[in-house]
Structure 1
Amino acid sequence: MKKLFTKLAAVGLTLAACSPAFAGKPNLNDFHLGWLDGIVETPYKKDEDLLGRTYMIVMDASGSMNWDGRAQCPQIKDKRINVAKRAASKFAETINPNDKLGMVIFKNGTPKYTLPFAYNNGPQFASQVNRISPDGGTPLRSSVLMAFNELRKEGARKKGHGEYHLVVISDGDPSSNAENPASLVKAISKDSPIQIHSIGFCLKPGHPLNQPFLNYYQADNEASLTQSLQSVLAESKSFSNTDFQ
Structure 2
Amino acid sequence: MATLYSQKKKSTLPRLFIVFLVIIGVVLFILFKEQNKATSLLSAHAPTASSVPKPLALPWPPAPNGNTVLAPNLLADNYYVVLDGSGSMGDSQCSGNKNKIETAKDALKEFAASVPADANLGMLIFTDSQIRELVPLGTGNRQQLTEQVQSAYAAGGTPLRDAISTGYARLEQQAVRQLGYGRYILVVVTDGQANPGQEPNEKVAWMLDNTPVELHTIGFCIGTDHALNMPGRTVYKAADNPAALRQGLADVLAEAETFDVATFQQ
TM-score of the aligned structures, taking structure 2 as reference length = 0.73
Query: Hey, what's the Cα distance between the residues in 2 that align with 1:183 and 1:37?
Result: 24
Q: Does 1:53 align with 2:71?
A: no
Partner in structure 2 of residue 206 of structure 1: 225
SS in 2 for 1:230: helix
Report the residue type matching 1:217 in the other structure. Answer: K
Partner in structure 2 of residue 80 of structure 1: 100
Partner in structure 2 of residue 187 of structure 1: 206
CA contact (8 A) 2:83 2:188 kept: yes
Q: Does 1:165 align with 2:185?
A: yes
1:42 to 44, 68, 82: 68
1:215/1:79 Cα in 2 relative to 1: closer, same or farther (>3 Å)? same
Structure 1 residues not aligned, in runs of 5+: 1-27
Query: Hey, what's the Cα distance between the residues in 1 that align with 2:189 and 2:139?
Result: 21
1:38/1:172 Cα in 2 relative to 1: closer, same or farther (>3 Å)? farther
How far the C-alpha of 1:209 sits from its partner, in A, is 1.1
CA contact (8 A) 1:197 1:232 kept: yes
TM-score of the aligned structures, taking structure 1 as reference length = 0.79
* 1:150-161 → structure 2 map (5 Å cutoff): 150-161=170-181
CA contact (8 A) 1:41 1:157 kept: no
Query: Hey, what's the Cα distance between the residues in 2 that align with 1:116 and 1:217?
Result: 25
Query: Once superposed, what is the RMSD of the aligned Cα atoms?
Result: 2.0
Partner in structure 2 of residue 10 of structure 1: none
Report the residue type matching 2:208 in the other structure. Answer: S
SS in 2 for 1:208: coil
Query: Hey, what's the Cα distance between the residues in 2 that align with 1:239 and 1:97?
Result: 17
1:121 to 138, 141, 166: 141
CA contact (8 A) 1:61 1:132 kept: yes
Query: Hey, what's the Cα distance between the residues in 1 that align with 2:139 and 2:203?
Result: 28
How far the C-alpha of 1:175 sits from its partner, in A, is 1.2
Q: Does 1:221 align with 2:241?
A: yes
* 1:24-43 → structure 2 map (5 Å cutoff): 30-31=57-58, 33-36=59-62, 42-43=68-69
Partner in structure 2 of residue 13 of structure 1: none
How far the C-alpha of 1:189 sits from its partner, in A, is 1.4
Cα deviation code 1:78-134 (max 9, x no counterpart): 210111010000000011111000112101111122311110211111111110111
How many equivalent residue pairs?
209
1:130 to 150, 164, 179: 150
For the pair shown, which has the larger CA radius of gyration, 1 or 2? Answer: 2
Report the residue type matching 1:244 in the other structure. Answer: T
SS in 1 for 2:138: strand
CA contact (8 A) 1:113 1:146 kept: no
SS in 2 for 1:54: strand
How far the C-alpha of 1:34 sits from its partner, in A, is 4.0
Partner in structure 2 of residue 64 of structure 1: 88
How far the C-alpha of 1:240 sits from its partner, in A, is 2.4
SS in 1 for 2:208: helix
Q: Does 1:140 align with 2:160?
A: yes
Partner in structure 2 of residue 97 of structure 1: 117
Query: Hey, what's the Cα distance between the residues in 1 that align with 2:262 and 2:84?
Result: 31
Query: Hey, what's the Cα distance between the residues in 2 that align with 1:158 and 1:195?
Result: 17
CA contact (8 A) 2:60 2:180 kept: no
Partner in structure 2 of residue 22 of structure 1: none
Query: Hey, what's the Cα distance between the residues in 1 that align with 2:137 and 2:152?
Result: 19
**Taking every aligned residue pair, what percent have the same amino acid on both sides?**
32
